[in-house]
Amino acid sequence: MEFEENATIPWQDVIASNVMKRHKKNVVATGITPSGHIHIGNLREVITAEAVHKSLLKLGAESRLIYVADTYDPLRRVYDFLPGSFEKYVGCPISEIPDPFGCCSSYTEHFLHPFLKSLEKAKINIEPYKADELYKSGAFDGAIKTALSARDKIANIIDSVSGKTTPADWYPFNPICENCGRLTTTRVTGFDTESEIVEYACECGQSGTVPIQGGGKLTWRVDWAARWGILGVTVEPFGKDHAAAGSSYDSGKRLAREIFGYEAPYPIPFEHILLKGKGKMSSSRGVTISVEDMVEVLSPGALRYLITRVKPEKHIEFDPGLAMLKFVDEHDELHTGERGFVPFRHMVNAVQIARGDFKQLKGVLQRSGYDTSDEEDIMRRAGNAEEWLKKFAPDIVKFSVQEKMPPSAKSLTDKQKTALGELAESLEKEWTAEDLHDEIYRIAESTGMDAKNLFRAIYISLLGSKSGPRAGWFLVSLDMDFLIKRFNEVSR
């Protein structure tokens, strides 16, 4: 890879510049096997590809962004989210398996459709392809004939790159058994490229022939190399495991050039996204945060920033909890700081005060000094905050303003009640959040008590709990008449 460190130029522009030394006309490819819920870790590949695609266009090159779903891959095992009855489908192409949840036309569609809809919501524009449709349409026919005829040469290339020994009866093609539907238990016993048929035998006892068109698929290393030429791929990001010495990209380079007469695409190896405290994300192990969930919490810009702010060769540790508050505000400050946006942390508190009432939400924000004229933007940000609270927020940030005085307020000390009465009087004036915060300290001192005990009294009076949002901001967000009435009620 020709990537060079340059602190002043975005990494995607450096890569695009390198690519343009090879190609002026480009196809940037990305893809995944939709064998389970497609998670935020998978999205790194898509957003990395999109970033380079956009940089190529910006630099004057032609570029297309394609997404290939490996829908003809076999089901590897019965994952934890599948019923035991799916044991009979292990080894079958996932495009040919029914939806385990009974709501979509196939296993593939159940997991792929919501992911593609999420990409639309994130405003990531791709040209989607499905591997099963490519094979069934005949797009791979020429490559399959070439691979079958060049079996020995392909085996020698893979063996020399991987250091392994290919079995003598191996072929670079997996027929789909007409009886059991599997492609992992079959072996080629003969083929005729003129009549375009492949003879096979299966472990289930079945033997027969399948057509080259749609009757099976090339083995992984060969499929990848063939696809580059079929779709004209010139740039492709992929996980670092595929870039290791002796792995699939190393063999793919030789297979593409020596078997299919095509140069391998410019490689962009990338590190994994690690879920804080749980490690590498995996759909099969249930260690995931779905893309569908993340597009409900992050704006399209913030979602891209999550990925592109870190160079592909460095891992990303992702924390969807408290760290999300800081991350979103960091993004917004960098990209929309001049627009007077409502900080995410602030919006998280505001929606909890408003409790689904948009008119009240606007009032909360206006009392805090924010412009609410762009109602569509306010609604979007409020929706993001509500989804974060629902899916990822720790209990420490959750609260609910009590409509009636909490019973626990009766147990406050006399000093706390006196201080709350004095605070009620102070609230007759207009305050900024910071000034009101200072006023609480002043009242605590004047009544001879530790400030933390006054803050605790405030939260108990309003929330029924001993802690809550930063008090000065919190109080100016609320209706002053409500506050005065509540504090006076408690003080009595």
| 443 CB burial (10 A radius; 0-12, 13-18, 19+) | buried
Residue 408's identity, in one-letter code, is S
- 482 backbone dihedrals φ, ψ, rounded to 5°: -60, -45
Of 275, 276, 265, whose CA–CA distance to 238 is shortest? 265
The 10s digit of each residue's pLDDT in 359-382 is 999 999 998 889 899 999 999 999
Give yes or no for residue 281 having a pLDDT over 80.
Answer: no
Third-level CATH fold of 320-398: Arc Repressor Mutant, subunit A (1.10.10)
- State whether residue 130 is helix, strand or coil: strand
H helices of 150-258, in order, are 151-162, 220-231, 248-258
Output the CA torsion sign for 258, 262, 266, 272: negative
Give yes or no for residue 286 having a pLDDT over 60.
Answer: no
> So where are the chain's domains?
11-162+220-275, 320-398, 407-491
What's the average model confidence in pLDDT over 272-295? 76
**Per-residue CA distances from 214 to 72, 118, 131, 207 (Å):** 10, 29, 10, 17
The 10s digit of each residue's pLDDT in 431-444 is 999 999 999 999 99
The alpha carbon of residue 232 and the mean position of all alpha carbons in its chain are separated, in whole angstroms, by 27
Residue 31's identity, in one-letter code, is G
Q: At 337, is the pLDDT very low, low, confident or very high (cuts 50, 70, 90)? A: low
pLDDT at residue number 7:
52
The 10s digit of each residue's pLDDT in 391-425 is 999 999 999 999 999 999 999 999 999 999 999 99
What residues form DSSP beta bridges with 211?
197
The 10s digit of each residue's pLDDT in 68-110 is 999 999 999 999 899 999 999 999 999 999 999 999 999 999 9
Give yes or no for residue 226 having a pLDDT over 60.
Answer: yes
Of 410, 401, 416, 398, whose CA–CA distance to 457 is shortest? 416
C-beta atoms surrounding 2 within 10 Å: 11
pLDDT at residue number 124:
96
Q: At 123, is the pLDDT very low, low, confident or very high (cuts 50, 70, 90)? A: very high
Helix axes 40-58, 300-308, angle to 10 degrees: 90
pLDDT at residue number 215:
98
Listed in sequence order, the residues at least 6 apart from 270 whose beta carbon sits closer than 8 Å to its beta carbon are 44, 45, 48, 237, 238, 239, 240, 312, 313
Same fold, 11-162+220-275 and 320-398: no
What's the average model confidence in pLDDT over 37-49? 91
What residues form DSSP beta bridges with 74?
93
Q: At 5, is the pLDDT very low, low, confident or very high (cuts 50, 70, 90)? A: very low
Q: At 2, is the pLDDT very low, low, confident or very high (cuts 50, 70, 90)? A: very low
Q: At 1, is the pLDDT very low, low, confident or very high (cuts 50, 70, 90)? A: very low
The 10s digit of each residue's pLDDT in 142-159 is 999 999 999 999 999 999
Q: HSE-up of 133 (CA within 13 Å, CB side)?
A: 7
Regarding pTM above 0.85, the answer is: yes
Percentage above 70 pLDDT, the chain: 95
Give yes or no for residue 348 having a pLDDT over 90.
Answer: yes
The CATH classification of domain 407-491, taken from the options 2.170.130.10, 3.30.870.10, 1.10.10.350, 3.30.70.20: 1.10.10.350
Of 227, 270, 267, 252, whose CA–CA distance to 45 is shortest? 270
| CATH class belonging to 11-162+220-275 | alpha beta
Give yes or no for residue 252 having a pLDDT over 90.
Answer: yes
